[in-house]
Structure 1
Amino acid sequence: MTEYEIACLGKTPFPSRRTARRRARQIRGEGGPHFHTYRCPFCLAVHVGHAAGHATYLRAGRHGPIPVQEYAA
């Protein structure tokens, strides 16, 4: 799996940080986790994601789940 696939594929691209923050607040209001927003270096859109080291799920791959290995920044 390439860095691009890990960082960008399957994530919603938001046109602005403001829109992404609004969606993150909506998810939190529905009982979801605390997300942060960041500018993607690959597609240059804004994504919403877990803070480094706090992913709580496995990514889906072609051949089953792929464990997420994150390192604290």
Structure 2
Amino acid sequence: MLAEKVSISLPTPLLEFVEHYKESHALKSRSKVIEMALERLQQESLEAAYRQAAADVDPAFDATNADGLRNETW
């Protein structure tokens, strides 16, 4: 995967956490820690979107879907 170099500023406690996480998980760089954190946020957002989409399903669809008609009749 191609990567672009960016610069970020973090409060000292967060930077210390990133450094500790990197060392305790034997990661090669701080960038890898930040990448993993962003991937997790992305995954959480996707899961939330799927939950919302599932909640938006019209309950009447199941009743219509079970009306006894087969797909071939369409």
TM-score normalised per structure 1: 0.26
Q: Give 1 or 2 for the bigger CA radius of gyration.
A: 2
Higher strand share: 1
TM-score normalised per structure 2: 0.25
